[in-house]
Structure 1
Amino acid sequence: MNEKAMRSQRKWQTIIWVAIIIVFTYLASDITNFNIVHGIATLPNAITWIFSNLYVTPETFERLPKILEKLAETILMSIAATTTATVFSLFLGLMGSKTTGTSSILGVFARFVASVARNIPVVAWALILLLSFGQNSMTGYLALFVGSLGFLTRAFIETIDEASHSAVEALRATGSTYFQIVFKAVIPQCLPQLISWILFMIETNIRSATLVGILTGTGIGYSFDLYYKTLNYNAVALVTFTIVISVIIIELMSNRIRKVIL
């Protein structure tokens, strides 16, 4: 096939995919009774409402200490859920990896756990656990823990699979034990990437913890929900700004650490 024919084929493939997307968008809008034109037309009014209501007043700053306390609770809960999930994910990652796996049954089990925990959203886990544990910090922690477990296990398996097999084979040839191979060959190679995934998970959990907190009545999410339901939009604005600023600071710190370790 010459170059002209290939360009023509890619062109028609692009046209077909664009047409499919347009059809699915139209069907989705029709089924949900969503009017795209009306939605776009209301954007100016929505933006005007945001700037007219979501602003911080001097009186609102009196609530800042309590908001920061709830924000600290959310951040600490996110870090705790991520770090504890990391320990379990590391074991599951070693079990599920083709490089370090010792049993096909354990490998299937590890991948199954990762798939179930990862494919159910954190919000759904929060609702499921809410029925058993009620509205408290434990429910939010467990929801973040399960979500982190699924994501990190999958990430760890792929990271370990990408490790060089030459060092592993060399240690096996010298009669090294399983744990010697893991801690002398596999972990040192994967450590920078593993740390990067952990930092990414902490960032993600801090964002998710806000929504989880609305459901579980804990952390900064509870403050946001409380002020929103009482129509205290100035306090809502302050909560939103503190969340945004904290996420930006943590992301900058994570990026700095990644540059050092990678």
Structure 2
Amino acid sequence: MNEKQFNRRKWKSLGFFIIVVGITWFSAHLTAFNFIEGITTIPAAFIWMAENLWITADTFDRLPGIMDRLIETILMSIAATTLAAILSFFLGLAGSNTTSKNSVIGAFARFIASVARNIPIVAWALILLLSFGQNSLTGFLALFIGTVGLLTRAFIEVIDEAGLSAYEALTATGSTFFQIVGKAVMPQTMPQMVSWVLFMIETNIRSATLVGLLTGTGIGYSFDLYYKMRDYHTVTLITMLIVITVICIELTSNRIRKVII
């Protein structure tokens, strides 16, 4: 890199830094955010956490009810992800350039994936809340729709990246579409697809907690209930259970991925 290129890159970096600082300052001014006041409140926040966010012996009396809600959240996440994976597999076949038999159907499958993926799951929960109300069905559908969008996009990419040699060989022999899918596509793509499904189960358990705040279901409902009651000890217990659950699911998923990939 010569001196001219170095100076050009330096001025670009400086310009980018000035733009970022300007946007930050403008945003803080627009929202009346005081940086100094925000920094000075950090010690008080840690003191409050130390005084309130710890688990007492009485808190464990509520553990059975909380565990029921947590299990409900886990099962709803797994069910939504599993059913979404089945639908996403067929949408992936329809949307992939490798296996698509109709350009219109392929475009429609990619359109569904794009719409479902680009609207956050929490936003889907708010939209569905107006029609279905606060119940488990609303939370399930929000997770289901969001997962369909993400998995369909992922499955399309996985199928497109698969090798074409087996696909072309079976096509040349006159095999049916489903024979080609079963013998050529699935053996190559299934490990990656299972990995994506496991990843979505992890993600949906986290998302289900937020969705539960809106729909009044699962562990999110328990968190919201005790938070509004200002029972911060129980809130701490719920938070710890969510963290432990997510870590356990992630470790299990990683173990399964090592086996299948």
Between 1:116-125 and 1:9-18, the stretch displaced more is 9-18
Cα deviation 1:214-235 (Å, max 9, x = unaligned):
1100110000000000111111
Q: Tell me by how many angstroms 1:3 deviates.
A: 4.3
Q: How many residues align?
A: 261
Distance in 2, matches of 1:228 and 1:10, equals 50
1:40 is matched by which residue type in structure 2?
A: I
- Specify the alignment match of 2:117 in structure 1: 118
Distance in 1, matches of 2:27 and 2:189, equals 43
**Residues 198 and 37 (structure 1 numbering): CA distance in 2 closer, same or farther, change over 3 Å?**
same
- Specify the alignment match of 1:220 in structure 2: 219
- Specify the alignment match of 2:91 in structure 1: 92
Task: Name structure 2 gaps, 5 residues minimum.
Answer: none
Distance in 1, matches of 2:4 and 2:185, equals 47
1:163-174 equivalences under 5 Å are 163-174=162-173
Distance in 2, matches of 1:98 and 1:135, equals 40
1:60-209 equivalences under 5 Å are 60-209=59-208
Distance in 2, matches of 1:106 and 1:175, equals 23
Distance in 1, matches of 2:166 and 2:11, equals 48
Q: Tell me by how many angstroms 1:37 deviates.
A: 2.6
Q: Tell me by how many angstroms 1:4 deviates.
A: 4.2
Give the TM-score of the pair, scaled to structure 2. 0.96
Q: Tell me by how many angstroms 1:50 deviates.
A: 1.2
Distance in 2, matches of 1:32 and 1:96, equals 44
Q: Tell me by how many angstroms 1:54 deviates.
A: 0.9
**2:106 aligned counterpart, secondary structure:** helix
Q: Tell me by how many angstroms 1:33 deviates.
A: 2.0
Distance in 1, matches of 2:185 and 2:48, equals 55
Cα deviation 1:23-50 (Å, max 9, x = unaligned):
2222222222222332222111111111
**Residues 5 and 33 (structure 1 numbering): CA distance in 2 closer, same or farther, change over 3 Å?**
same
Cα deviation 1:47-68 (Å, max 9, x = unaligned):
1111110110001001111111
Give the TM-score of the pair, scaled to structure 1. 0.96
Cα deviation 1:71-129 (Å, max 9, x = unaligned):
00000000000000001111111111101111111111111111111111111111111
1:8-47 equivalences under 5 Å are 8-47=7-46
Task: Name structure 1 gaps, 5 residues minimum.
Answer: none
Distance in 1, matches of 2:110 and 2:36, equals 44
Structure 1 runs of 4+ with >6 Å offset? none
CA root-mean-square deviation: 1.3
Distance in 2, matches of 1:77 and 1:144, equals 9
1:38 is matched by which residue type in structure 2?
A: E
1:144 is matched by which residue type in structure 2?
A: L
Distance in 1, matches of 2:178 and 2:159, equals 14
